[in-house]
Amino acid sequence: MVSTVAKSKVNTDRNWHSFIDGKAEKGTTERQLFNPADGSPLCKVSEADSKMVEKAIKSARKAFDEGPWPKMTAYDRAKVLFAIADKIDEHSEELAELESLNQGKPLREAQYDISDAANCFRYYAGLITKPNGQHVPVPANSETTVVREPIGVCGQIVPWNFPLLMACWKFAPALGAGNTIVLKPSEYTPLSTIRLVELMYECGLPAGVLNIVLGDGKTAGAPLAESKLVDKVAFTGSVRTGKIIAQAALGNLKKVTLELGGKSPMIVFPDMDIDTAVDYALFAIYCNAGQVCSAGSRFVVHESIHDKFVAKMTERAKKIKVGPGNDPETEMGPLVSTQQLKTVTDYIEIAKKEGAKIAYGGNVLTGGKYGQGYYVEPTLFVDVKPDMRIVQEEVFGPVAVVQKFKTEEEALELANGTDFGLAGAVFTNDLALAHRVVKALRCGITWVNGYHFTYNEVPWGGYRQSGWGRELGTFGLDAYTEVKQINVNLDKGPIGWFEK
């Protein structure tokens, strides 16, 4: 059957600007964006300079200090969040296509992301109207309560792998708590987020509550981390950039949330159905072309099934349909940019020089339907050693390694043997074994006999160099609040501490 590539229904030939104080604002420079699927020019966006970023920060500051949003009841804010969720659903087809065109992912993945983004707003719209705080008995005649209040102005910086969804993970709890926002999307993938902000303002957000500034990290991101008018910065991205942001935030000791990288293991024991394990392994690493912070990039496999696992992985990987995101038959799309293509291919060459063996893949795909797009084959390395860079460092592409183990203890040593601690999984039919291993994994997100399941209702984040703090769930809302104790003295008269 010949696949039919869908024609675009969205107009990218329009003005793509920053959004400050409730309206679009043209930047001072232009950036050409390219379609990852074929390398062709996609559109131009105007980017902010440092003065525009400062204007956006001041707009958010004024909206928080003087505007109605923080003073609104939780019920009134919830109405806006529910309206945003409905608006996302109403424009889901448009947003998904923008996401696919700009980022490269298959349309079916983009559609899932958009649906999840709407559900994120609904979750926090419901959560903020539920009972919270504490009434605390204290050793005095006092009515003492603990309440949570919005932090203030929140600088948010999101990556290019899930542009709209990562923005919503930050927008929904921050707005629900009553904060105001300045967000910087990735300079490579701003389109769906720009369109989302336009739609959000149609839902009744007061001017200045939500601002978006376009540009690179140096021009638009650094001022958010450094500004003393910003009370919190939330960042999703690389460890290197996360450390820079943490240092910059020391200026006014602003609150910091960092969701960083991973080198996540998937441990496979010999009692597990190998076809099921392989099926999840493919999903773990080749979904979104491996451009996922929690990607299962290390398969820790028992020696008795190692060869069979590799053979089945290779057989299945060969059948993955790689192509443009708007082709309905595509199962894995391109990488996001020429820069990321170089990063991934450099890691493949480094691995080969260090002695790792390619079981499958490793090639750049060009010509034909690939055009000048940024495609790499699904790639699998074997015969790796724990100290190899391909084992220790995050590639952020469709590249995985297989590590062999003999005992449960060795499996855990290998699984925990990196500086990261974002995610991990164990595949076994032994319930006691599964619980032991999951408990011993040094990471924040774990699965048993599954991978990549993500829920708005539970916290997302990692141990060690995978970041600080958590997003999603009640933890995600707490991260956008300050804690205050209120003591009301019920005794009448003076305290009498000093003699008259």
Please give the positions annotated as active site.
259, 293
CA–CA separation, 212 vs 48, rounded Å? 10
DSSP collapsed to 3 states, the chain: CCCCCCCCCCCCCCCCCEEECCEEECCCEEEEEECCCCCCEEEEEEECCHHHHHHHHHHHHHHHHCCCHHHCCHHHHHHHHHHHHHHHHHCHHHHHHHHHHHHCCCHHHHHHHHHHHHHHHHHHHHHCCCCCCEECCCCCCEEEEEEEEECCEEEEECCCCCHHHHHHHHHHHHHHHCCEEEEECCCCCCHHHHHHHHHHHCCCCCCCCEEECCCCHHHHHHHHHHCCCCCEEEEECCHHHHHHHHHHHHHCCCEEEEECCCCEEEEECCCCCHHHHHHHHHHHHHHHHHCCCCCEEEEEEECCCHHHHHHHHHHHHHCCCECCCCCCCCCECCCCCHHHHHHHHHHHHHHHHCCCEEEECCCEECCHHHCCCCEECCEEEECCCCCCHHHHCCCCCCEEEEEEECCHHHHHHHHCCCCCCCEEEEECCCHHHHHHHHHHCCCCEEEECCCCCCCCCCCECCCHHHEECCECHHHHHHCCEEEEEEEEECCCCCCCCCCC
Please tell me the number of Cα atoms within 13 Å of 16 on its side-chain side.
29
DSSP-derived pairing of the beta strands 467-468 and 255-259:
antiparallel
- The pairing of beta strand 232-236 with beta strand 255-259: parallel
Between CA 322 and CA 54 the distance in angstroms is: 43
Question: Pairing between strand 232-236 and 142-150?
Answer: unpaired
